Amino acid sequence: MPEQHRPEPPHRTTTVETGRFCAARCSCGWRGPARRARSKARADAAAHGESP
Ligand SMILES: [Zn+2]
């Protein structure tokens, strides 16, 4: 992961699909559990963004 010279970026969450599963992933290195539904993965990401 490339380091950026910027002031404290917030938790940038994305979702990554691995096969049939989808998992939330964050720029801080956090990764959510694999979910079958992307909406679930997004919910994980949202929850992490609110309370890392
Ligand atoms: Zn994070």
Distance CA 1, CA 13 (A): 14
Q: What is the pLDDT of residue 51?
A: 77
The alpha carbon of 39 and the centre of ligand 1 are apart by a number of angstroms equal to 18
Q: What is the pLDDT of residue 17?
A: 94
Tens-place pLDDT, residues 1-52: 666 666 666 899 999 999 999 999 999 999 999 999 999 999 999 999 887 6
Kindly report the pTM of this predicted structure: 0.75
The alpha carbon of 29 and the centre of ligand 1 are apart by a number of angstroms equal to 6
In a domain, 34, yes or no: yes
The alpha carbon of 19 and the centre of ligand 1 are apart by a number of angstroms equal to 23
In a domain, 30, yes or no: yes
Q: How many CB atoms lie within 10 A of CB 36?
A: 10
In a domain, 26, yes or no: yes
In a domain, 46, yes or no: yes
Domains: count for the chain: 1
In a domain, 28, yes or no: yes
In a domain, 19, yes or no: yes
In a domain, 1, yes or no: no
The alpha carbon of 20 and the centre of ligand 1 are apart by a number of angstroms equal to 23
Residue 42 structural domain: 13-50
